[in-house]
Amino acid sequence: MLVLGYAGHQRHGWSDNAERKLASRLRHARRHRTLFEAITSFGEEVEDLPMNLFPLDGVGHDGAAAILRDGVLLAAAAEERFNRLKHSTATGGRTLPPRRAMEYCLAQAGASAESVEHIAFYCDFTPQALAARIAGVEPHLQADVRQRVLRGYHAVYDGTVSNQRVALAAAALLDGRARQAVLHFVPHHLAHAASAFYSSGYSESGILTIDGFGEKSSSIFASGGPDGVRVIEETQHVEEAVAAALAQGKVVGWFRGRMEFGPRALGNRSILADPRSAQMRDVVNQRVKLREEFRPFAPATLAEAADDYFDMTGVGRADFMEFVVPARERGQKNAPAVVHFDGSARIQTVERGDNEPFWKLISAFARRTGVPVVLNTSFNVRGEPIVCSPQDAIRCFLSTNIDLLALESYVVSKRAGLVLEEDMAVPAVDD
């Protein structure tokens, strides 16, 4: 089996106007004294912004190629050795594709492009990865540039980094000669992990990659062994990962910072869920809290949006879940799992200055769902005190049907399936 892999990909400005694209590249290059600065800094003007928000105006630097036959490396080469441009980067930061490096590898292997069975590329930019990137950057964009930057993201994606675009570029690099080859998109950090492990000399090892660039993650934990490299955890912003899980209907244990004082969980020792389905109340009561079905749950709401969903007349803010207020029609319709049968809710309003991680989580959930509310209940089962230590949180997580545990900067999931009834926590006898 003959496998040809390559890295580096021709970068692409967001503008469809060739003159504006070139002017943007040159202006950016003039403003940064070194090549490293030019390819890793943000553009100062609006038309430059997408160049590095993606980042790198697309994908890649240091174009290169390698070829393997039946798992044995036959040749590898960097394009800069042939075009004599350091990092294979032209004026304005444009990455040059590894055409001559690929031809060199084929020649060293005594093979033709027609005999290549597989081609591997070092990124896997799916539409989901694009959506995750946009979700991460959009809240930080000022209103006057937001639409232009988002258009730039989509233009760069469609014109450069989408898997469809990469497939066309790969075919063009080989002049259409490798028609029978299967194209594989390798997640960027998995490629980094494989590069580190297979050149380490170890038969087994843990692997950590840290890189500013990737499809949507900046780091992964992985393990290497006889069966290859396996990703253990992708490191993203915890808030984004938890918001995505909640939006998928998962129940999440949330453990952050110092514990609260008193009987209420206020976003430091909480069990969280999606409030948009009334059935979620039953799911959490039966599968997690191990208590009666009628027990209500509280809404944790962004303070700035609370009055849109709940009638805050005379209350203003409810930092400690100390008030019961009527749910407005919008709240009853969009967050039924946190509205009691009489139309009321024991609300918690969350201010960014009081609990920024929790505020960021609810904000991330709002960006995904349009609802700035999460179901919030204390991190415990019926009859037990709220968890105190990480050990308590892990014990409760493993002995209930909580799907995911966010423990400070770690996100932990279970391997498979529900906890069997005989293995579940047993509720303590209430006083």
**Tens of pLDDT, residues 332-354:** 999 999 999 899 999 999 999 99
What is the rounded distance in angstroms from the CA atom of residue 431 to the CA atom of residue 424? Answer: 21
Q: What is the pLDDT of residue 430?
A: 45
Under the banding of pLDDT at 50, 70 and 90, the label for residue 58 is very low
pLDDT tens by residue, 65-96: 999 999 899 999 999 999 888 888 766 556 78
The answer as to whether 43 is a domain residue is yes
Residues 165 and 296 placed together within one structural domain of the fold:
no
- The amino acid occupying position 330 is R
Residues 343 and 246 placed together within one structural domain of the fold:
yes
Q: What is the pLDDT of residue 131?
A: 81
Residue % of the chain over a pLDDT of 70: 78
Q: What is the pLDDT of residue 48?
A: 44
Residues 263 and 402 placed together within one structural domain of the fold:
yes
HSE on the CB side for 417, CA within 13 Å?
Answer: 5
The answer as to whether 207 is a domain residue is no
- The average pLDDT across 410-421 equals 65
Instruction: Judge whether residue 412 has pLDDT over 60.
Output: yes
Residues 148 and 288 placed together within one structural domain of the fold:
no
Residues 153 and 267 placed together within one structural domain of the fold:
no
Query: Which of 186, 218, 248 is the endpoint of a domain?
Result: 186
Under the banding of pLDDT at 50, 70 and 90, the label for residue 429 is very low
Token pair, residue 425, equals: 């926590």
- Which has the higher per-residue pLDDT, 252 or 417? 252
Query: Which of 143, 167, 186 is the endpoint of a domain?
Result: 186
What is the rounded distance in angstroms from the CA atom of residue 348 to the CA atom of residue 318? Answer: 5
Main-chain dihedrals φ then ψ at residue 152, nearest 5 degrees: -65, -40
Q: What is the pLDDT of residue 376?
A: 95
Strand partners, 120: 5, 184
Q: What is the pLDDT of residue 364?
A: 92
Q: What is the pLDDT of residue 28?
A: 57
Residues 65 and 176 placed together within one structural domain of the fold:
yes
Residues 180 and 253 placed together within one structural domain of the fold:
no
pLDDT tens by residue, 356-372: 999 999 999 999 999 99
Locus of tokens 């009987």: 263
Whether residue 74 contacts residue 108, with contact meaning beta carbons closer than 8 Å, is answered with yes
Q: What is the pLDDT of the chain when averaged over all its residues?
A: 81
The answer as to whether 116 is a domain residue is yes
Instruction: Judge whether residue 55 has pLDDT over 60.
Output: no
The answer as to whether 215 is a domain residue is no
Under the banding of pLDDT at 50, 70 and 90, the label for residue 214 is confident
What is the rounded distance in angstroms from the CA atom of residue 377 to the CA atom of residue 387? Answer: 12
Residues 69 and 174 placed together within one structural domain of the fold:
yes
Q: What is the pLDDT of residue 37?
A: 53
The answer as to whether 63 is a domain residue is yes
Q: What is the pLDDT of residue 293?
A: 62
Query: Which of 186, 206, 229 is the endpoint of a domain?
Result: 186
pLDDT tens by residue, 278-337: 989 888 887 777 666 656 789 999 999 999 999 999 888 899 999 999 999 999 999 999
Strand order in the sheet with 219-225: 205-210, 219-225, 228-235
Under the banding of pLDDT at 50, 70 and 90, the label for residue 269 is very high
Report the number of distinct structural domains present in the chain: 2
What is the rounded distance in angstroms from the CA atom of residue 96 to the CA atom of residue 120? Answer: 18
- Which has the higher per-residue pLDDT, 153 or 124? 124
Instruction: Judge whether residue 142 has pLDDT over 60.
Output: yes
- Which has the higher per-residue pLDDT, 183 or 294? 183
- The average pLDDT across 229-250 equals 85
**Residue 66 domain boundaries:** 2-186
Q: What is the pLDDT of residue 93?
A: 58
**How far is the CA of 151 from the CAs of 26, 146, 163, 364, 400, in angstroms?**
21, 9, 19, 21, 44
DSSP string, 362-404: HHHHHHHHS--EEEEEESS-TTSPPP-SHHHHHHHHHTS---E
Token pair, residue 357, equals: 């991680």
Q: What is the pLDDT of residue 394?
A: 92
Residues 181 and 265 placed together within one structural domain of the fold:
no
Query: What's the residue count for the chain?
Result: 431
Q: What is the pLDDT of residue 184?
A: 93
- The amino acid occupying position 265 is A
Residues 182 and 254 placed together within one structural domain of the fold:
no
Residues 248 and 379 placed together within one structural domain of the fold:
yes
Strands 219-225 and 228-235: antiparallel
Whether residue 400 contacts residue 425, with contact meaning beta carbons closer than 8 Å, is answered with yes
Neighbours of 93 (CB within 10 A): 25
- The average pLDDT across 30-37 equals 55
Whether residue 381 contacts residue 290, with contact meaning beta carbons closer than 8 Å, is answered with yes
Instruction: Judge whether residue 13 has pLDDT over 50.
Output: no
- The amino acid occupying position 63 is G
The answer as to whether 232 is a domain residue is no
The answer as to whether 199 is a domain residue is no
Locus of tokens 């002995």: 399
Residues 372 and 254 placed together within one structural domain of the fold:
yes
What is the rounded distance in angstroms from the CA atom of residue 319 to the CA atom of residue 347? Answer: 9
The answer as to whether 198 is a domain residue is no
Under the banding of pLDDT at 50, 70 and 90, the label for residue 169 is confident
Q: What is the pLDDT of residue 53?
A: 40
- CATH number, residue 407: 3.90.870.20
